[in-house]
Amino acid sequence: MWTRTRGIALALVLLLVAAVAIAVVRSGDQHGALDPRSADQRGSRAVAELLAARGVDTRVVTTTGEARAATGPDTTLLVAAPDRLTAHQQSRLQSATVDSGGRAVLVAPGSAAVEALAPGVTTDPEPAADKPLAPGCALPEARRAGPAATGGHRYSTTLTGADSCYPSYGSPTLLRLPSPTGTGDTVVLGAPDILLNDHLDEQGNASLALQLLGSRPHLVWYLPSLSDDSAAAGAQNDRSFVDLIPKGWLWGTLQLFIAAALAALWRARRLGPLVQERLPVAIRASETVEGRARLYRKANARDRAATALRISTRTRLAPLIGVPVSQAHSPETFLPALARQLPTPARDSHALLFGPPPASDTALIALADHLDALEREVRNS
């Protein structure tokens, strides 16, 4: 068994080692992304420290309920990953921020998220240029910061009073939308680069980030998580099983089916038609009988063995008692002819030749002996 399975076992061990190595190497790639507590390249601890030095306290929340409760006129709510929120969460969050009097900062929201959290704003399909962009607007924060890495998503809006900044190919990558009540606003940021530790010291990223997040004394940093109860409730209400299946599964399944059919056709053509070949060696009949008997014994198939013995006996006796071989297995024809052939009729011939299977190996051996004795008696009569 080890000889047959050691190749598979070695492959599984190598696969496991490779998976562990890849996991270790890539474990820090996205660890703490946009987390103000993380000092990784993709973290945002640097901007949080700079804000703290200017008197702005930063608090991290991970549920929609905490984010809603923290909104207020003296608070800036930053939503680090709007696209992770369900439609139910987005609706609840937007209703809490629209009249709070504070500022909401949406980091790189996609088309569905920006339409739910900032009604009146749409996402352009083409991404922005991958380079620092000039302010191109009259927003004081943007003019003081100068060029910054806001490129990512491009947006468009028809709302009056909106500040459209850092345009790329004619569409802004940063929008400031005043609240309908006039006491708060919403900032839509096309890319997270100005908040990341790795890019904070480039161009005017730090200045723009500090001004956007430091306009209120309190900063609530919302990092959506799987532990959010409202996320589970929203997912149950808004998503079906089909929605959870990745897009393109139908085409993928069809491609796999076609590939399997082609592989089967290839193998069938490769094997070619059946060809009869003579055995390379001659096998004695006794060896074949012995091998078949061992198979019957291993499977405990006494019924099949008894049936084979009875059929063989009836087939050999049929010509001796004048019965066609085709009728040798019919008790109504075979037993009367057998009785006429024997000078003294055998006792209980029906049970011997057509009876039930033996209940034990001993009974099977006894059946074989009685059949041999019956055949000798017919031949000698």
Cα–Cα distance measured from residue 105 to residue 42, given in angstroms and rounded to the nearest whole number: 18
Question: Is 260 a domain residue?
Answer: no
- Structural domain containing residue 339: 285-380
Flag whether 7 is in a domain: no
Phi, psi of 343 (to 5 degrees): -65, -40
Residue 141 lies in a domain: yes
Q: Are 187 and 212 in contact (CB under 8 A)?
A: yes
φ/ψ of 254, rounded to 5, equals -65, -40
Q: Give CA–CA dist 71/89, Å, rounded.
A: 15
Q: What is the 3-state secondary structure (H, E, C) of 174-198?
A: EEEEECCCCCCEEEEECCCHHHCCC
Report CA-CA distances (Å) from 9 to 13, 17, 173, 249: 6, 12, 53, 31
**Is residue 257 in a domain?**
no
> Does one domain contain both 240 and 323?
no
Tokens representing 222? 């919302």
Does residue 200 sit in the same domain as residue 294?
no
- Domain check: are 202 and 57 in the same one? yes
Element (DSSP H or E) covering residue 103: strand 103-107
Number of folded domains in the chain? 2
Judgement on whether residues 229 and 291 belong to the same structural domain of the protein: no
Beta-bridge partner residues of 178: 185
The answer to whether the beta carbons of residues 341 and 320 sit under 8 Å apart is: yes
Which two tokens mark 21?
């190595």
What pTM was estimated for this model as a whole? 0.56
Beta bridge partners of 221: 60, 78
Q: Which residue has the tokens 């000889």?
A: 3
Residue 344 has a pLDDT of 67
Cβ atoms within 10 A of the Cβ of 81, count?
Answer: 18
Pairing, β 155-157 against β 121-123: antiparallel
List the beta bridge partners of residue 157. Answer: 121
How far from each other are the two terminal CA atoms of the chain, in whole angstroms? 57
| DSSP β-bridge partners for residue 46 | none
Do 188 and 303 lie in a common domain?
no
Q: Which residues 6+ apart lie within 8 Å of 296 measured at CB?
A: 302, 304, 305
Choose one of 244, 260, 275: the last residue of a domain.
244
Number of H helices, E strands in the chain: 15, 9
User: Is 138 within 8 Å of 173 (Cβ atoms)?
Assistant: no
Kindly give the confidence (pLDDT) of every residue in the chain, 381 residues in length, as a single tens digit, with 9 standing for 90 and above.
777 778 888 888 898 888 888 776 665 444 578 999 998 888 999 999 999 999 999 999 999 999 999 999 999 999 999 999 999 999 999 999 888 889 999 999 999 999 999 999 999 988 898 889 999 999 999 999 999 999 899 999 988 889 999 999 999 999 999 987 778 899 999 999 999 999 999 999 999 999 999 999 999 999 988 767 554 444 445 556 666 677 777 888 889 999 999 988 887 776 667 777 777 787 888 888 888 889 988 888 999 999 999 999 999 999 999 999 989 999 999 999 888 888 766 557 888 999 999 999 999 999 999 999 999 988 887
Whether 202 and 317 map to the same domain: the answer is no
Q: Is 55 left (phi over 0), alpha (psi -120 to 50) or beta?
A: left
Residue 90 domain flag: yes
Q: Tell me, what's the pLDDT at 25?
A: 66
Domain annotation covers residue 347? yes
**Residue corresponding to tokens 């009836």:** 314
How far is residue 137's CA from residue 167's CA, in Å, rounded to a whole number? 9
Last residue of a domain, one of 244, 273, 305: 244
> What is d(CA 26, CA 170) in angstroms, rounded to the nearest whole number?
37
The CATH number for 163's domain is: 3.40.50
Are residue 298 and residue 373 in the same domain, yes or no? yes
Residue 9 lies in a domain: no
Q: Specify whether 224 is located in the same domain as 291.
A: no
Instruction: Indicate whether 223 and 293 sit together in one domain.
Output: no
CA distances, 224 to each of 1, 46, 329 (Å):
50, 21, 80
Do both 164 and 310 map to the same domain? Answer: no
Distance of CA 131 to the CA centre of its chain: 37
Q: Which residue bears the tokens 């809490």?
A: 96
Read off φ and ψ for residue 125, nearest 5 degrees.
-70, -35
3-class SS of residue 236: helix
What are the b/e assignments for 154-168, b being 16+ CB within 10 Å?
bbebeeeebbbbbbb
Same domain, 234 and 174: yes
| Domain contains 198 | yes
Same domain, 91 and 189: yes
> For 166, left (φ over 0), alpha (ψ -120 to 50), or beta?
left
AA letter at 293 = A
